[in-house]
Amino acid sequence: MDFHVVHVTVPADTAEAIGETFWQAGAQGLETVAETDSSTTLRAYFPEAPAAENLLAALEHTLAAFDDSGGQLRDFTIERRPHEDWLAKWKADWKVQPVGQRWLIVPPWRRAEAAANPEWQDRLRLVIEPGMAFGTGTHATTQACLTLLEQLPAIPEQVLDVGTGTGILAIAAAKLFPAAVCSACDTDPDAVAIAAVNAQDNGVGGRLQTHVRSVTAYPDGHFDLVLANLTAEVIVSLASELARVLRPQGQLIVAGVLSERQASVAAAMATAGLDLRQTQTDGEWWAALAQRRPDDTPA
């Protein structure tokens, strides 16, 4: 069976985000072809031909978030190729990955390897199929959320993951806090379906409630912890809603924020009645733990 290869050159500091855009568009493989100090050339593999106009628009939207990228998308092509064993090669490149002190990201075909390594026995395993939706555990934004989650100063009873994607953060919360009631929402029905399947595969399907909805559909003051690995623009627009659904002194973990946008996100959270408690920067990405003020009504 033939497959399709998308080739593109992007500014070097945007390569990670562009790669995630490819995953969200349905890519089943991704590789870096060439790198310089200023640019990165990527190849993404698709089982069916992607709609060129839609994919190009998604890539340009991602690039637009980088004010100082200093470059544009170049050499964008889509090529049909005859079948070869590229998937097996791609899978060989995905390794079991420890994250933080508690987590182990496990591609499904690496389960036996993860189980056999005595160094990993005390870690909580998150088995996620790469490329299913946003949140495979390898991106800096997801890893930041997982690290902040394991450092949480209080054990939550009610957890909400907003924009859940693969469900990885909701699944992580369910595993880390076995007594908690965990919910996950996304406005994309496909993502919610994927999250539900992943929850079952990770043994927490009975404890994770998944919904096709926005955070706006949840009641006031219901959650002790909200997870929001989104984008700066979305977090700013939803800041008051994220605060509203938290109980007083409830905690919010946000990520997906480019470091250059952190000031606007922090300001929006402060206006919404949230105080920063901890921040984390990994390269170009910023994440934070915030807490709703006691008896404070979100703006």
- 225 has pLDDT over 70: yes
CATH of the domain at 250: 3.40.50.150
d(CA 255, CA 250): 17
Q: Look at the chain and report how many structural domains it folds into.
A: 2
- 288 has pLDDT over 80: yes
d(CA 211, CA 192): 7
Q: Which residues pair with 288 in a beta bridge?
A: 254, 279
Q: Strand pairing of 158-162 and 223-229?
A: parallel
Residues 63 and 146 in one domain: no
CATH of the domain at 86: 3.30.70.260
Residues 166 and 285 in one domain: yes
Residue 79: Cβ within 10 Å count? 11
Residues 257 and 190 in one domain: yes
* 3-57: pLDDT as tens digits: 899 999 999 888 888 988 998 898 888 888 887 878 899 999 898 899 999 999 9
247 in a domain, yes or no?
yes
Residue ending a domain, choose from 67, 90, 113: 90
Residues 86 and 147 in one domain: no
Is 36 or 202 the better-scoring residue by pLDDT? 202
195 in a domain, yes or no?
yes
Residues 80 and 147 in one domain: no
Q: Which two tokens stand for residue 257?
A: 């924020």
Please give the model's pTM, rounded to 2 decimal places: 0.74
Structural domain boundaries, residue 171: 139-292
Residues 146 and 284 in one domain: yes
- 71 has pLDDT over 90: no
- Per residue, the 3-state secondary structure of 17-53, as one string, reads HHHHHHHHCCCCEEEEEEECCCEEEEEEEECCCCCHH
Instruction: Return the SS3 of 103.
Output: strand
In this predicted structure, what is the pLDDT of residue 105?
Answer: 93
d(CA 95, CA 65): 30
Residues 161 and 287 in one domain: yes
In this predicted structure, what is the pLDDT of residue 13?
Answer: 83
Residues 171 and 246 in one domain: yes
Q: Which two tokens stand for residue 98?
A: 């420890």
Task: Output Rg (C-alpha) for the chain, integer angstroms.
Answer: 19
Residues 149 and 241 in one domain: yes
Residues 170 and 279 in one domain: yes
Residues 265 and 200 in one domain: yes
242 in a domain, yes or no?
yes
- 20-24, 92-96, 294-298 — which one is most confidently predicted on average? 20-24
Among residues 86, 80, 79, 74, the alpha carbon closest in space to that of 30 is found at 86
127 in a domain, yes or no?
no
| Mean predicted lDDT score pLDDT of the chain | 90
Share of the chain above pLDDT 90, in %: 65
Residues 78 and 167 in one domain: no
121 in a domain, yes or no?
no
95 in a domain, yes or no?
no
120 in a domain, yes or no?
no
131 in a domain, yes or no?
no
